[in-house]
Amino acid sequence: MTQLQSLRGMVDLLPEQTRCWQAVESVARDHFRRAGLQEIRTPLLEVTELFARGIGEATDVVGKEMYTFVDRGDRSCTLRPEGTASVVRAALQHGLLSQGPQRLWYGGPMFRYERPQAGRQRQFYQIGVEYLGVGSPRSDAEVIALAWALLVDLGVQGLVLEINSLGTLQDRQKYREELVAWLEARSDQLDDDSRKRLYTNPLRILDSKNPAISELLQDAPTLFEALSVESKARFEEVQVDLEALQIPFQLNPRLVRGLDYYGHTAFEITSDQLGAQATVCGGGRYDGLVEQLGGAPTPAFGWAFGMERLMLLLEAAASINPNGSAARLTASTRPDLYVVNRGEQAERVALVIAHQLRAAGLVVELDSSGAAFNKQFKRAGRSRATWALVIGDDEAERGEARLKYLQEATTQANPIPIDQLHRLDDVTGLVRLVRE
């Protein structure tokens, strides 16, 4: 029988990786808690119309990348390609916005049918933040700062924050006309992709990865020049606030993002260590989306980062700096104690002791192989446990166990009374007991 495999672009997280992910998630949770955010969880499956209306028909995400199917009730359903539209839908459906501004975060799998490569999967995991009902330029800086502080705290290095303003809908319409006219005059120099986008989503041409197109666009009119006085002033304020927060940034007039709901501030955090998929975090302001999805006009700002890309960055940071916070997050855990045991009576005693010590808070690995002592000691070494607790039938008979420090090449193993073990609540207690 052939061995079944996971689908292309859908990746297993093995225990060691899962542990690193949990460490990152817990740092993120802590940042969100301190910023007063609340977690929201929405379904993976939504009606297709939510994304078509929310993200925009002309985007690659909606046009080419969605996992869409008709369910048994004849409804068109889509596996969520991102979280923002779902969060806004949920906030509207449950009347959250009538309770004042909502500061929300979420984490979970997203689905896009893209060509898989390093840092790009078909099922990937995002952690995101959405501030709904908050419209000041200051809030743009506040929410960007949240992403920046989290990434810095995780120990990720070589980050660059790029920002741009996409202005208002009118600003963009005006610019779109100018850009299309400019590109039409040079249509012979466009590639197929850009030619296709010329009338569907011309602003995305600015984001082209084709070096010839980037070169051509050097002289194109920029969106910044087309911004109204008010939009420019708003963007200035965001920049002043970022400077006050001492967050370094670069202006990128070509940054347009791949989803249609953005206006005013848009940003991306990139790293040169990620190769072609350089963006680890992206987001911006989306004041029109709530209305677009049937609610009252409501300002909003948010971002999401991709966990897979973040993990690539953490691995790189850990290998550059083995004592940094990224290395601590990616280091594997060691058990406090490895219980080496052999013999009929000893094995039952060991089972009970391991159970009691775990209840008291120690991380305990019980050898259940019944193998020879020297084999069990080898395994204890491989487990990187700090201590071994050794129980043979002789010890069990005497109501004793022997404690051996594994981090030094010592042969000494001190006897301790078994009936005292369950009163310990940490390794220090165990050590104290041995020394008494």
Give Cβ neighbours of residue 261 (< 8 Å, ≥ 6 apart): 54, 55, 56, 84, 85, 286, 288, 289, 292
Binding of residue 105 to ligand HAM (CB under 6 A): no
Binding of residue 302 to ligand HAM (CB under 6 A): yes
List the one residue from 42, 121, 139, 265 that touches ligand HAM (CB under 6 A).
121
108 or 415: CB nearest ligand HAM? 108
How many other C-beta atoms lie within 10 A of the C-beta of residue 190?
20
105 or 387: CB nearest ligand HAM? 105
Binding of residue 267 to ligand HAM (CB under 6 A): no
124 or 338: CB nearest ligand HAM? 124
# residues near ligand HAM by CB under 6 A: 27
What is the closest distance, in whole angstroms, from the C-beta atom of residue 88 to ligand HAM in the complex? 9
Segment contacting ligand HAM by CB under 6 A, of 26-34, 126-134, 236-244, 418-426 = 126-134
Binding of residue 280 to ligand HAM (CB under 6 A): yes
Segment contacting ligand HAM by CB under 6 A, of 71-79, 93-101, 121-129, 226-234 = 121-129
What is the closest distance, in whole angstroms, from the C-beta atom of residue 129 to ligand HAM in the complex? 7
What is the closest distance, in whole angstroms, from the C-beta atom of residue 293 to ligand HAM in the complex? 14
3-state helix, strand, coil in the chain (%, to 5): 45, 20, 35
221 or 258: CB nearest ligand HAM? 258
Binding to ligand HAM in span 178-197, by CB under 6 A: none
Binding of residue 308 to ligand HAM (CB under 6 A): yes
Tell me, what DSSP letter sits at residue 431? Answer: H
Determine the 3-state secondary structure of 400 from DSSP: strand
What is the closest distance, in whole angstroms, from the C-beta atom of residue 305 to ligand HAM in the complex? 5
What is the closest distance, in whole angstroms, from the C-beta atom of residue 203 to ligand HAM in the complex? 15
List the one residue from 60, 82, 162, 241 that touches ligand HAM (CB under 6 A).
82
Distance CA 79, CA 67 (A): 6
Strands 38-39 and 413-417: unpaired
Q: What does the buried/exposed string (b/e) look like for 84-110 if buried means 16 or more CB atoms within 10 Å of the residue's CB?
A: bbbbbbbbbeeebbeeeebbbbbbbeb
List the one residue from 101, 108, 258, 429 that touches ligand HAM (CB under 6 A).
258
> What is the maximum span of the chain, computed from C-alpha positions, in angstroms?
94
How big is the chain by its Cα radius of gyration, in Å? 28
List the one residue from 59, 102, 273, 279 that touches ligand HAM (CB under 6 A).
279
Query: In the structure encoding, which two tokens stand for residue 96, read together?
Result: 């959250």
Binding of residue 103 to ligand HAM (CB under 6 A): no
List the one residue from 124, 175, 338, 387 that touches ligand HAM (CB under 6 A).
124
Binding of residue 303 to ligand HAM (CB under 6 A): yes
Tell me, what DSSP letter sits at residue 8? Answer: T
Strands 387-392 and 337-342: parallel
List the one residue from 281, 318, 385, 430 that touches ligand HAM (CB under 6 A).
281
155 or 282: CB nearest ligand HAM? 282
| DSSP H helical ranges for 35-136 | 48-55, 60-64, 84-93
- The DSSP string of 287-329 is TTHHHHTTS----EEEEEEEHHHHHHHHHHHHHH-TTSHHHHH
- The dihedral through the CA atoms of 230, 236, 239, 240 has a sign that is negative
Q: Which residues bind ligand HAM (CB under 6 A)?
A: 82-84, 112, 114, 119-121, 124, 126, 128, 130, 258-259, 279-283, 286, 302-306, 308-309
